[in-house]
Amino acid sequence: MPRSPEEARVLLCALGDHVRDLVVGARGMDMAVVEGRTSADTIYAIDKVADDSLIGWFEAHWPDVELVSEGLDEPVAIGPDPQLTVIVDSIDGTRGLMYDKRAAWSLAAVAPHGGSLRDVVAAAMTELPTTKQGLADQLSGTRGSGLVAERVDLRAGGRTALTVQPSTATDLEHGFAAVSKFFVPGKVALAELETALFSRLGSGDVFDDEYISSGGQLHELIAGHDRFVADLRPLVAPDAFACHPYDVCTAMLLEEAGGVVTDPRGAPLDVPLDTTTSVAWAGYANAELAARIGPILAELVDDLERR
């Protein structure tokens, strides 16, 4: 078992490298074939490639943990007395990746056994590249120690340090921001809330780029590409596809980079580390944006839930 959060971070990065190599090796297969469904989501062929390797990887590299993953019906104890909980989303953003449209992300985080999202002590997110990519990024960190960012050369195998920083802008003008509305259920209500929010902020020129991956959204905030993202789907369509704890298990990394992650009303985001809880969340590039946008968002969410 790792003796420190730093050792856990290194193992999480190694797991991400393993999943990335599996995904690159699976190029050429029909990734979009539906292989099954769990209580959490639809499982596509490329998900199965990654998920099927998880237990074996942990048995070989990291025993004595409880493994929680989208691809498992129940948590799996690796070893007789788990001391840690590791939550994994092998491929977050499957739909974009399987059509070679946009990179996905492998997400993983570790907390003391039985802990929640606020107890996460280390996390890593690894880019799963499209076929034309020769480079892939990996972000990781331990709580309170800042962010580690690296870029991997997929052809030569080298790694170089990468500088990433969330936007320092204090408004949304001429920047990217969005309320997620990926699917038909709840789309109208979410679009109306987004319109009202931007109107009250006085933001007229805001660019909308909805990355269908919670990990991808966190990356865009960390990298300075987006300024604000909110995923409120469980509030308007509780029975539809929603974000789950494994999708936001690396939220700590945005905080380590200087950003802010909250629930829809501005409280620190905290959820159990399971595969079924629906999660609504908001991410901000910096504290100034959170202070400006958060209270208005909370009012609009209250109005929405009173309807």
pLDDT under 70 in the chain at which residues? 1-2, 28-47
Q: Which fold has domain 175-306?
A: D-Maltodextrin-Binding Protein; domain 2 (3.40.190)
Q: Which fold has domain 5-161?
A: Fructose-1,6-Bisphosphatase; Chain A, domain 1 (3.30.540)
CA dihedral 164, 168, 169, 175 (to 10 degrees): 10
pLDDT of residue 239: 79
Tell me how many degrees the CA angle 139-161-172 measures, rounded to the nearest 5.
55
How do 42-44 and 34-37 pair as beta strands?
antiparallel
Report domain extents, the chain: 5-161, 175-306
290: tokens are 């959170």
pLDDT tens figures, 237-293: 987 789 999 999 999 999 999 999 999 999 999 999 999 999 999 999 999 999 999
pLDDT of residue 39: 54
pLDDT of residue 15: 97
Helix (H) or strand (E) holding 149: strand 147-153
What's the length of the chain? 307
pLDDT of residue 73: 79
Task: Measure the CA–CA gap between 74 and 49, rounded to whole angstroms.
Answer: 18
Residues 6+ apart with CB under 8 A from 299: none
The residue behind tokens 């730093």 is 6
CA dihedral 220, 223, 228, 234 (to 10 degrees): 40
